[in-house]
Structure 1
């Protein structure tokens, strides 16, 4: 969810609650004011009616209709002593054929020598219509207010937050391998200026650290490679001599193998470092079906040495975009792993769909836990010429491209599934 939407949501929920409470409060306030006005009129009309009944003899027959909407006089044999009270009632209107709300004042009084219970009723219809009209007007004003605030909020928020989104856009384009200097747009908001300044400082430090690490890795790799090459050449020259015993030649041969392994280890660590540093950004289209066939062809001698039977089951020929070097390292390591840890007269099955490639090979039981298979320097089997980085290298490439790889074991079959 976007920040603007989230902030506007809380803002308008708050306004909505306040508006609803305000409308309810306004309704009861208006109703209370109107009722108070009606009560004052009814009391005034009570006094007027009592005065006129006492002053004019023929008023009982005529009953002034300008007092209230309806007047009722109920003659009593004795003094009822009714306390003056006001109440709301519903009275059926034969003209409108519906019940109408009235407010009544009921009291008792003596006129001449007779006692009466007198009721003065005033219709609340006009006040109800007024309250309804006022409520509708308030609701309309509230709706227009909300719409206006919504539009203004979006316009103002987008303008206020534009520097932030400009900065965010620049950060998304950041490529630490090919860094470019940031050109932040000028803003009057101090917080955004501080944000831009902080991001620029952090980014410059990241680029500097990356370049230092890259330079250190390259220098280390170069400096290690030189003495390794010299030692290797010297040992090869010494081995060619004839002045050594059998045990000395065996020892020199072991040293030579360790030097070769050390060289491979250096190369693999260097590759892992480059992958982590995102140095393989150039990509090409790889036809996976054709590429797998080429890889198998390139290791035919190794396959023939173990008399391994290779089968292809290609349902589709997907094309994926990878760096050419990483594509080679990924597939050659997967296939080499299937050959290296296979048995004589074993089998390799390659299955390919549009979503994944499955590499199955026969082999001895796995001597380590499957969950540790892709860890660095974990070797399955007594392979002295193995660096223990092959599957770790595969895992790094898989993570680099957001692929996934899983291992399962079914009887004599070892299965690696690479999902694109």
Structure 2
């Protein structure tokens, strides 16, 4: 029973015994595993199907909003209302995209891996996120203390690093700083913050936010945590000297 994992296809085999009570127990446990595995698979399939079906109407909705905003006969007040709706639609699209990603992670659709360096992925994304940071007067400092080689799915590793960048920029002080350090076996992002430590118990749960005013989906850290678990990495958080530290140990 300790080897049973609900997201795995292979179900552990229970030993055959001659004692009637143990046979009944084995049968009950086997039925329980089958039922829970079936429910889990159905839920994953529902999330994936729902996310796929939502993509088309969301795209149409956003397209119609943009068409309305380009009309010459709308007032300034109407334009502001449409812009608020557009922001909400974009956020809904991100949530839908992230839920679909989580569903695919659970069904292990990213099993193909290859050798790469974490340094190369960080350095590839650095120019884009530096521009994003400069818009909020944030300073990014990148330090490569060693070349970190990993065997991973390139798409998932890029998602981890993108989410770490987004998290550090979104939940930072204006005119704050972001420090990125790559070591021989770890990657660490730290960012300044005027608030105190985050709730470590709920931090990596889905739809958990540092504040209700956040424009994020509340799924970024949950996605990093799930990718880390699937790859056997360790994703951790700590708060020191008014700095949030997010670290991935490979």
Task: Bin the TM-score by the shorter chain.
Answer: 0.7 to 0.9
1:250 aligns with 2:83: no
Aligned to 1:339: 169
Describe the SS at the equivalent of 2:239. Answer: strand
- Residue 263 (structure 1) shift: 0.8
1:289 aligns with 2:129: no
1:390 aligns with 2:216: no
Selected match of 2:137 from 287, 295, 307: 307
- Consecutive unaligned residues in structure 1, runs of 5 or more: 1-167, 180-188
- Residue 246 (structure 1) shift: 2.8
Decide which moves more: 261-270 or 278-287: 278-287
* Equivalence map 1:217-366=2 (5 Å): 217-366=47-196
Distance, in Å, in 1 between the alignment partners of 2:105 and 2:137 is: 35
Q: TM-score, normalised by structure 2?
A: 0.79
Q: TM-score, normalised by structure 1?
A: 0.49
Query: Contact (CA 8 Å) 1:341, 1:364: kept in 2 or not?
Result: no
Aligned to 1:418: 248
Greater C-alpha Rg: 1
- Residue 370 (structure 1) shift: 3.4
Aligned in 2, Cα 1:366/1:295: closer, same or farther, shift over 3 Å? farther
Runs of 4+ in 1 over 6 A off after TM superposition: 200-211
The answer to which structure has the higher helix fraction is 1
- Residue 264 (structure 1) shift: 0.6
- Residue 389 (structure 1) shift: 0.9
- Residue 266 (structure 1) shift: 0.7
Describe the SS at the equivalent of 1:378. Answer: coil
Query: Contact (CA 8 Å) 2:197, 2:244: kept in 1 or not?
Result: no
* Equivalence map 1:395-406=2 (5 Å): 395-406=225-236
- Residue 211 (structure 1) shift: 6.3
- Consecutive unaligned residues in structure 2, runs of 5 or more: 11-15
**Which gives a bigger RCO, structure 1 or 2 (Cα 8 Å, sep 6+)?**
2
Aligned in 2, Cα 1:354/1:393: closer, same or farther, shift over 3 Å? same
